[in-house]
């Protein structure tokens, strides 16, 4: 019995772990649009079925509630495995340090095993956090990073570094077709207001006319990529023939203070900036060098900050008004 009861298979079949999360749900939408059948797997640790409920009537979509740190059995053929399951925001991985290490290690092993059994292409969602608090700027893929393995954030950074090593080992030893995307800060609809990431945090505080919490003096920088741009880059990477990591992100860099001021202006709120101590090991600078993505994937971000942030603000406004 196959997950999809196709008599003759016309469509690609993709597995998306973390499919009920922010990025996994957008990736599932985009794969369906591209004509794939999608099996989303998620244990709902930090995700929510709300993100995929619009897909429940779609004959090409299945949702399986499962923890991918346990063995994954799926009948039938599979063309792509996208491993996106993992707590992703500092609040989440500090609350779930061991599940974060497990999903990066055991979850990656299990999903690689699935891809190997099916002869599928494998793509792992890695992160700019593999660069840690970087000593070079902007960050290029050949930079090895500056990570504190035993600091509180090490559970996430090292899990992803292990996951990359595991994917490369499967590629080199088992000849699996693996891809590694190093995702830089991405934002958009379906983020969680309370996940601690700066975009939802500031928008939520501005909507409530509360002070916007800036950690440190706000001079630390981030580069924000809109979710549709990221997903386009991931799709292109999945069909490319590159196996080394590729940065996907938006190189337009701004300080957290500038970002807070932009939100206040855009949302015409009476909120002010409020400064709090910087958390331990918070990276000071972050900007992707995307020359490789430009060269290999002919990809670069298209959505400007004003457009992306407006769509995100609309989403959070509607979300709060719906009282969910
Ligand atoms: P998210 O928390 O919204 O989504 C992660 C999903 O994984 C959730 O739905 C969660 O329930 C699920 N999950 C966690 N552990 C699981 C397990 N053991 N089994 C099954 N499902 C599990 O986070 P996101 O922002 O969508 O991040 C998705 C992926 O992208 C993560 O791997 C993250 O590390 C990576 N990433 C995201 C960003 C970003 O800016 N959003 C940046 C870099 C990397």
Two structure tokens written together for 111: 């999903």
Q: Which of 30, 84, 193 has most ligand 1 atoms within 8 Å of CB, for mutation?
A: 84
pLDDT range class, residue 1, cuts 50, 70, 90: low
Calpha distance 158→93 (Å, rounded): 12
User: Three-state SS across the chain?
Assistant: CCCCCCCCCCCCEEEEECCCCHHHHHHHHHHHHCCCEEEEEECCCCCCHHHCHHHCCCCCEEEEECCCCCCCCCCCCCCEEEECCCCCCHHHHHHCHHHHHHHHHHHHHHHHHHHHHHCCEEEEEEEHHHHECCCCCCECCCCCCECCCCCCCHHHHHHHHHHHHHHHHHHHHHCCCEEEEEECCEECCCCCCCCCCHHHHHHHHHHCCCCEEEECCCCCEEECEEHHHHHHHHHHHHCCCCCCCEEECCCCEEEHHHHHHHHHHHHCCCCCEEEECCCCCCCCCCCECCHHHHHHHCCCCCCCHHHHHHHHHHHHHHHHHCCC
Atom of ligand 1 nearest to the CA of 45: 11
Q: Whose CA is nearest to atom 23 of ligand 1?
A: 88
Among candidate residues 80, 93, 122, 156, the one labeled active-site is: 156
Asked whether the CA dihedral 119, 184, 103, 312 is positive or negative, the reply is negative
pLDDT at 32 over 90: yes
Across 85-109, average pLDDT: 97
- Which domains, and CATH codes, for the chain? 13-187+227-249+287-303 (3.40.50.720)
Residue with tokens 């059995």: 73
Judge whether 290 and 246 are in contact, CB under 8 Å. no
pLDDT at 7 over 70: no
pLDDT in the model for residue 5: 72
Two structure tokens written together for 165: 């090593």
Across 221-226, average pLDDT: 92
How many Cβ atoms sit within 10 Å of the Cβ of residue 64?
16
Atom of ligand 1 nearest to the CA of 185: 40
Residue with tokens 């440190």: 216
Question: Tens digits of per-residue pLDDT, 116-152?
Answer: 999 999 999 999 999 998 899 899 999 999 999 999 9
Ligand 1 center to 7 CA (angstroms): 33
Question: Tens digits of per-residue pLDDT, 109-124?
Answer: 999 999 999 999 999 9
Ligand 1 center to 17 CA (angstroms): 8
Bridge partners, 290 (sequence order) = none
Residue with tokens 């975009």: 199
Enumerate long-range contacts of 228-231, CB under 8 Å, 24 or more apart. Answer: 228/26, 228/30, 228/188, 228/303, 229/301, 229/302, 229/303, 230/23, 230/183, 230/186, 231/23, 231/26, 231/27, 231/30
pLDDT in the model for residue 2: 74
Calpha distance 304→18 (Å, rounded): 27
Across 80-106, average pLDDT: 97
Question: Tens digits of per-residue pLDDT, 159-180?
Answer: 999 999 999 999 999 999 999 9
pLDDT range class, residue 283, cuts 50, 70, 90: confident
pLDDT at 280 over 80: no
Judge whether 292 and 246 are in contact, CB under 8 Å. yes
Q: What are phi and psi of 239, to 5 degrees?
A: -105, 5
pLDDT in the model for residue 149: 96
Q: What are phi and psi of 273, to 5 degrees?
A: -80, 140
Active site residue 156: yes
pLDDT in the model for residue 282: 74
Question: Tens digits of per-residue pLDDT, 38-61?
Answer: 999 999 999 999 999 999 999 999
In this prediction the pTM is: 0.96
pLDDT at 154 over 90: yes
Atom of ligand 1 nearest to the CA of 25: 26
pLDDT in the model for residue 8: 63
Q: Which residues line ligand 1 (CB under 6 A)?
A: 17-18, 20-24, 41-47, 67-69, 84-88, 99, 103, 107, 125, 127, 183, 185-186
Ligand 1 center to 45 CA (angstroms): 9
Q: Whose CA is nearest to atom 6 of ligand 1?
A: 18
Question: Tens digits of per-residue pLDDT, 178-223?
Answer: 999 999 999 999 999 998 899 999 999 999 999 999 999 999 888 9
Whole-number average pLDDT of the chain: 94
Across 13-19, average pLDDT: 98
pLDDT at 14 over 90: yes
Across 281-307, average pLDDT: 92
């Amino acid at each position: 019995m196959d997950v999809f009861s196709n008599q003759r298979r016309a469509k690609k079949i993709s597995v998306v772990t973390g499919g009920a999360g922010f990025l996994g749900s957008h990736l599932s939408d985009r794969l369906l649009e591209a004509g794939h059948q999608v099996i989303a797997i998620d244990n709902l640790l930090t995700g929510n079925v709300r993100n995929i409920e619009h897909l429940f009537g779609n004959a090409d979509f299945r949702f399986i509630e499962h923890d991918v740190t346990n063995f994954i059995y799926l009948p039938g053929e599979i063309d792509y495995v996208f491993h996106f399951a993992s707590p992703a925001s500092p609040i989440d991985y500090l609350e779930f340090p061991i599940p974060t290490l497990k999903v990066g290690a055991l979850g990656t092993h299990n999903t690689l095993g699935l891809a190997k059994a099916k002869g599928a292409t494998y793509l792992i969602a890695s992160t700019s956090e593999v660069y840690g608090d970087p000593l070079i700027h902007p960050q290029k893929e050949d930079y090895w990073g500056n990570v504190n393995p035993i600091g509180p954030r090490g559970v996430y950074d090292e899990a992803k570094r292990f996951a990359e090593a595991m994917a490369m080992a499967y590629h080199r030893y088992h000849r699996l077709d693996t891809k590694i995307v190093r995702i830089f800060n991405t934002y958009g609809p379906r983020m969680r207001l309370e996940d601690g990431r700066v975009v939802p945090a500031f928008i939520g505080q501005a909507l409530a006319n509360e002070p916007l919490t800036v950690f440190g003096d706000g001079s630390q920088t981030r580069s924000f990529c809109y979710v549709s741009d990221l997903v386009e880059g991931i799709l292109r990477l999945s069909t490319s023939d590159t196996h080394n990591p590729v940065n996907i992100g938006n190189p337009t860099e701004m300080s957290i203070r500038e970002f807070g001021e932009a939100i206040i202006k855009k949302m015409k709120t009476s909120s002010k900036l409020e400064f709090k101590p910087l958390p331990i090991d918070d990276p000071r600078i972050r900007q992707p060098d995307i020359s490789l993505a430009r060269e290999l994937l002919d990809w670069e971000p298209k959505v400007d900050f004003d457009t992306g942030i407006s769509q995100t603000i609309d989403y959070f406004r509607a979300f709060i008004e719906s009282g969910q």
